[in-house]
Amino acid sequence: MCADNKNKIINELIKQIVDNPNKSECYLKLAGIYLSDNEYDRAIGVYDSLLNFEPSNYVALTNLGSIYFCKSEFKKAVNFYSRAANLGIEDPTVYYNLGNAYAEIGEFKLALSNYIKALNQDKNNYRVYSAIAMLYQDKQNYDEALRYYEKALSLNNNSSENYINIAFVLMKINRFSEAADNFNKAFKLSPNSYRLLLFSANAYSAAADYEKANEYFDKILAINPKYYQTYLCYALSSYEQNNIDKAIELYNSAINLYPQYTNAYTLLGNLYFSEKEYELAVDLYKKVIELKPSDPGAYTLLANTYVMLNDLRSAISIYKQCIDIDTDNDEIKLIYVEIVNEYIKIKTANEMNNAK
């Protein structure tokens, strides 16, 4: 719809509302136009006006619930979905949406009860089973989560999302090979999603099936040699395989491809730290700070490395900078005080020895 034509229709609807303020059809059409352009506040105003004289208008109530859900105002969404549900209209979607809104505000039991009501009206809705599974997953009840995800899959095995959800739960309960199988099934349904191959590679690595993991990492890089995250995951896996040179090579490849990203610098610094190559770690952490001067984590890593080098003076300076950035970090403040006291203790001892 062109802008001129849309404005003409809007003006005509407004005129009809002025002439006949109790004609709900005009309000719904006008709000629908605003919704199509994501003009939520205008749509809300129209729906509110409609509810003033027709408080049980089901479309207005459910649409207001959806608008507030999209605006992340979940308690308001609960209010309007509840009012719609209380009208007694048989519509599983309103219970599903109400369950989603309750889930967002952490009301597990109320979310579950509304999902069950949705299933009572439509027992073959796989999305509801997936939503229940997510509830249990958030509660870390992975057995129940897996049961409901598998039910969703039995109703719709053409959705990569179902396989992905199952795979992530399997990862949580250390069934890594099965997780990889499900990521692979998801990839067959979404063959352009290379991240699924990466998930498979990571799952094989977690299962210590390094031959398979390396095969998948190499496959991804052959398809897309600029996939930054692959280099990082492959490097982590290589380090687990005690192939340190390979890990370093992969991190450096990532740095050369995307020198503006900090993750590879940090992870390579961590590798050198673990290998007690502290001077090399220092250079990398300094680079992270150069790129992200407001990242307190980088300062902490650098300060910790100076401690390992027995350069307490530099460590104190860096910890102080970290505290200036992350003023509420009591743990860093405590470490800072301990290092300062240790520095003073050593300096005093040295001065006493020199005086003898």
User: What would the pLDDT profile of 255-281 be if each residue is shown by its tens digit?
Assistant: 999 999 999 999 999 999 999 999 999
pLDDT at 1 over 60: no
Instruction: Please answer whether residues 256 and 268 qualify as being in contact, where contact means their C-beta atoms are separated by less than 8 angstroms.
Output: no
Q: Is 267 part of any domain?
A: no
Q: Are 187 and 158 in contact (CB under 8 A)?
A: no
Residues 42-78 pLDDT 10s: 999 999 999 999 999 999 999 999 999 999 999 999 9
pLDDT given for residue 202 in this prediction: 98
Asked whether the beta carbons of 65 and 97 are under 8 A apart, the reply is yes
Q: Is residue 231 a part of any domain in this protein?
A: no
Q: What confidence tens digit (pLDDT) does each residue in 100-143 have?
A: 999 999 999 999 999 999 999 999 999 999 999 999 999 999 99
Q: Residue 126's CB: how many other CB atoms inside 10 A? A: 19
Q: Is residue 346 part of a domain?
A: yes
**Tens-place pLDDT, residues 207-259:** 999 999 999 999 999 999 999 999 999 999 999 999 999 999 999 999 999 99
pLDDT tens-digit map of 138-171: 999 999 999 999 999 999 999 899 999 999 999 9
pLDDT at 351 over 80: no
Q: What is the pLDDT of residue 355?
A: 64
Tokens 């897309």 appear where? 224
Report yes or no on 333 lying in a domain.
Answer: yes
Categorize the per-residue pLDDT at 2 as very low, low, confident or very high, splitting at 50, 70 and 90: low
142-155 vs 126-138: helix crossing angle, rounded to 10:
170
Instruction: Residue 181: name the closest of 194, 208, 158, 199 by CA.
Output: 199
pLDDT of residue 356: 59
pLDDT of residue 6: 85
Domain count for the chain, please give it: 1
Report the interhelical angle of 126-138 vs 92-104 (nearest 10°): 20
Instruction: Give first-to-last CA distance, the chain, whole Å.
Output: 92
- Encode pLDDT of 170-202 as tens digits: 999 999 999 999 999 999 999 989 999 999 999
In a domain, 3, yes or no: no
Query: CB 153: neighbour CB atoms within 10 A?
Result: 22
Report yes or no on 336 lying in a domain: yes
CATH number assigned to the domain comprising residue 310: 1.25.40.10
Q: Is the pLDDT of residue 3 over 80?
A: no
What is the average pLDDT value for the chain, to the nearest integer?
A: 95
CA distance 130 to 118: 13
Q: Domain range for residue 346? A: 282-351
| Angstrom distance (rounded) from CA 277 to CA 274 | 8
Looking at residue 136, its pLDDT comes to: 98
The amino acid at residue 147 is R
Cβ neighbour number for residue 352 with a 10 Å cutoff: 9
Residue whose C-alpha is closest to residue 251's, from 230, 233, 235 = 235
Residue 299 pLDDT greater than 60, yes or no: yes
pLDDT at position 350: 74
| Domain assignment present for 82 | no
SS3 readout for the chain: CCHHHHHHHHHHHHHHHHHCCCCHHHHHHHHHHHHHCCCHHHHHHHHHHHHHHCCCCHHHHHHHHHHHHHCCCHHHHHHHHHHHHCCCCCCHHHHHHHHHHHHHCCCHHHHHHHHHHHHHHCCCCHHHHHHHHHHHHHCCCHHHHHHHHHHHHHHCCCCHHHHHHHHHHHHHCCCHHHHHHHHHHHHHHCCCCHHHHHHHHHHHHHCCCHHHHHHHHHHHHHHCCCCHHHHHHHHHHHHHCCCHHHHHHHHHHHHHHCCCCCHHHHHHHHHHHHCCCHHHHHHHHHHHHHHCCCCHHHHHHHHHHHHHCCCHHHHHHHHHHHHHHCCCCHHHHHHHHHHHHHHHHHHHHHHHHHHC
How large is the average pLDDT for residues 294-310? 96
**% of the chain at pLDDT higher than 70:** 98
Percent of the chain past pLDDT 90, that is, above it, reads: 90
In angstroms, rounded to a whole number, what is the distance separating the alpha carbons of residues 52 and 199? Answer: 51
Half-sphere exposure of 107 (CA within 13 A, CB side): 14
| Residue 253 within any structural domain of the chain | no
